[in-house]
A and B are shown apart, each in its own frame.
Chain A
């Protein structure tokens, strides 16, 4: 029942945004909808924590990892929508956008979230694929939101590269259906049906299918070398959308890979998927780290950091064992911190009207609160204490030391280089003399509260994980 209510609320919110002509009403309805959805997802997650899997009907099913993702979608979504209200008002005041754009923004934001909820909770792999494709379609217009040539270019790359990737993922998904075909025809095939019949699958087909899945959904995750669209799209979208793209959507796509990894491991053993995930993971970290060092745009810097973190996740799930537990925790921390970083980057953009690092000087003086959040986010995302990412990176890399010594050492070296590269960029932004003509104004509460809340939640979760969330993580680690 909760699922139906969640989907109805978001759909109604999108519809209201479409028909209403009062801006304040559109904003209020969107915030109220996301707030209600957040409360409902917490209830659903508690149910999953208690009963393992929540299956209200044959079309929807949520396991423990799905519940974690649903929580992240609703929490980051809520913070993003609260932030959007003020952010878009400031942009409207600066005459960057008009009312029609604001309307479009909230409509597509609602549809984007709806598609992510569908993708995670659908019991059918094909329906989940349709939903992931729907996330591409709903966000394409959000990436081209500012209607500038660079934004158009980013949106086009995003649309084409992700569409190709998703078609390859679709092909891989179809190949998994050969296991069902052998044991009978198709009806509405669920993940569980595939799991029950997976032993019928030809191992040679399973290997090829997983390669298609990994390349296909890996494109959406932003794993190198299929990552080229990601820095463009994440840097050109409005920051609340960047927060959702980086913080949540990448995890949703990763979730799809993990679903098929379970099948693949049952048919051909875990070594095959392990090697592939480790190879793609290490390459992603490598590419991201070396581009971050010479990066000139702070939004692209954050986007490349997402590629690096997806690489860490791939390593974690590739190494297996305790690293999977750490990878799931890493997924949660990254989601919260990266979203906070993007939202605070939005404040910097509003103040300096530029995303070029060399144009930003003295942010600590101009935007003290935002700067504290941004620096805290930087420390957290690079794995500095006291944030939990330090703990997850240590566990993931130490888990790999036994069987993948070389990979672990290289990854450790790269993360150290990343810290230095990131540190250099952040100090360039934070210190120095702010432009003399720039006034020091009190920062707006609603532009500070959402990123601050996300950072604080990440900090609290570094020391204390609520029992129901802990249950979800342990259960997900056991299943994946």
Chain B
């Protein structure tokens, strides 16, 4: 595979997660998630072009349909239905968020995680960057107060794991991959339904409004 092109894709992938932290508009968040999923699709298509494995092409097609087309479409429609343009803010301010993102990136590149990032020694750089995106996605779920951001955080975490499996050559058999993507598809449907139900009850997508249950 063309190394420069792969690096370009990976940097885009990384930046998409970073910008999810700073996004202020719902549409921008959905676009960034769609872009991230598109990168995963392209990676699988590249794998097909190199190995000729039909399974990779099939998975690329499925990811394209579920994560690049259907999921963003669901979210767009929901935002339109409730006329919501702006995202709910973060718990931590933007400068501090960037400091934490930097720390997480350094941790992912540290010797602690060297056993993971050298699973395929030639892909050390790629795996380090993806591990960083995994941590930053986790941070996104914790840091954002908005329901949509939490969902994109979970989906971004899942994309990071798929990308990690790709670069560490740990992809599963086609049947299991289909099972996983089906699972994600159902998850997207259910969370979209829940978003709608939450809005009806709380008139907001702000999770800090949910404070009925405390000990």
> Inside 8 A of A170's CB, which chain B residues have their CB?
161
17 example contacts (A-B, Cβ-Cβ < 8 A) are as follows A130-B180, A133-B187, A140-B194, A144-B194, A149-B210, A152-B194, A152-B197, A152-B202, A154-B213, A156-B147, A156-B194, A156-B210, A159-B194, A174-B164, A177-B172, A178-B119, A205-B115
Is B165 in contact with chain A by the CB < 8 A criterion?
Answer: yes
Q: Which of A137-186 contact B (CB under 8 A)?
A: 137, 140-141, 144, 147-150, 152-157, 159-160, 163-164, 167, 170-171, 174-175, 177-178, 181, 186
Closest chain A residue, CB of each to CB of B165: A174
Closest chain A residue, CB of each to CB of B112: A208
> Inside 8 A of A153's CB, which chain B residues have their CB?
210-213
B176 contacts A133, C-beta separation under 8 Å: no
B180 contacts A178, C-beta separation under 8 Å: no
B212 contacts A150, C-beta separation under 8 Å: yes
Is B198 in contact with chain A by the CB < 8 A criterion?
Answer: yes
Is A187 in contact with chain B by the CB < 8 A criterion?
Answer: yes
- The residue from A130, A148, A235 contacting B179, defined by CB atoms under 8 A apart: A130
- The residue from A152, A187, A236 contacting B198, defined by CB atoms under 8 A apart: A152
Q: Which of A238-275 contact B (CB under 8 A)?
A: none
B215 contacts A295, C-beta separation under 8 Å: yes
B161 contacts A171, C-beta separation under 8 Å: yes
Is A204 in contact with chain B by the CB < 8 A criterion?
Answer: yes
A174 contacts B157, C-beta separation under 8 Å: no
Q: Which of B146-188 contact A (CB under 8 A)?
A: 147, 150, 154, 157-158, 161, 164-165, 168-173, 175-176, 179-180, 183, 186-187
> Inside 8 A of A202's CB, which chain B residues have their CB?
115
A186 contacts B172, C-beta separation under 8 Å: yes
Is B141 in contact with chain A by the CB < 8 A criterion?
Answer: yes
Output the least CB separation between A160 and chain B (Å): 6
Within the assembled complex, what's the spacing in Å between the Cα atoms of A255 and B147? Answer: 31
B215 contacts A231, C-beta separation under 8 Å: yes
Within the assembled complex, what's the spacing in Å between the Cα atoms of A231 and B197? Answer: 21
Is A191 in contact with chain B by the CB < 8 A criterion?
Answer: no
> Inside 8 A of A295's CB, which chain B residues have their CB?
215
> Inside 8 A of B190's CB, which chain A residues have their CB?
137, 140-141, 159
Within the assembled complex, what's the spacing in Å between the Cα atoms of A236 and B187? Answer: 21
B194 contacts A232, C-beta separation under 8 Å: no
B194 contacts A171, C-beta separation under 8 Å: no
Is B12 in contact with chain A by the CB < 8 A criterion?
Answer: no
Is B113 in contact with chain A by the CB < 8 A criterion?
Answer: yes
> Inside 8 A of A231's CB, which chain B residues have their CB?
213, 215
Q: Which of B115-157 contact A (CB under 8 A)?
A: 115-116, 119, 134, 138, 141, 147, 150, 154, 157
Is B110 in contact with chain A by the CB < 8 A criterion?
Answer: no
- The residue from B154, B176, B183 contacting A124, defined by CB atoms under 8 A apart: B176
> Inside 8 A of A375's CB, which chain B residues have their CB?
none
> Inside 8 A of B81's CB, which chain A residues have their CB?
none
> Inside 8 A of A155's CB, which chain B residues have their CB?
194
Is B191 in contact with chain A by the CB < 8 A criterion?
Answer: yes
Within the assembled complex, what's the spacing in Å between the Cα atoms of A170 and B201? Answer: 32
Within the assembled complex, what's the spacing in Å between the Cα atoms of A24 and B16? Answer: 53
Output the least CB separation between B6 and chain A (Å): 20
Closest 6 pairs (CB-CB, A-B): A204-B115, A150-B212, A153-B210, A149-B201, A232-B213, A126-B176
Output the least CB separation between B71 and chain A (Å): 14
Within the assembled complex, what's the spacing in Å between the Cα atoms of A329 and B2? Answer: 57
Is A406 in contact with chain B by the CB < 8 A criterion?
Answer: no
> Inside 8 A of B113's CB, which chain A residues have their CB?
208
Closest chain A residue, CB of each to CB of B153: A164
Within the assembled complex, what's the spacing in Å between the Cα atoms of A152 and B194? Answer: 8
A163 contacts B154, C-beta separation under 8 Å: yes
Output the least CB separation between A45 and chain B (Å): 27
Closest chain A residue, CB of each to CB of B158: A167
Is A127 in contact with chain B by the CB < 8 A criterion?
Answer: yes
Within the assembled complex, what's the spacing in Å between the Cα atoms of A181 and B113? Answer: 19
Within the assembled complex, what's the spacing in Å between the Cα atoms of A156 and B138? Answer: 17
A134 contacts B197, C-beta separation under 8 Å: no
- The residue from B150, B170, B201 contacting A178, defined by CB atoms under 8 A apart: B170
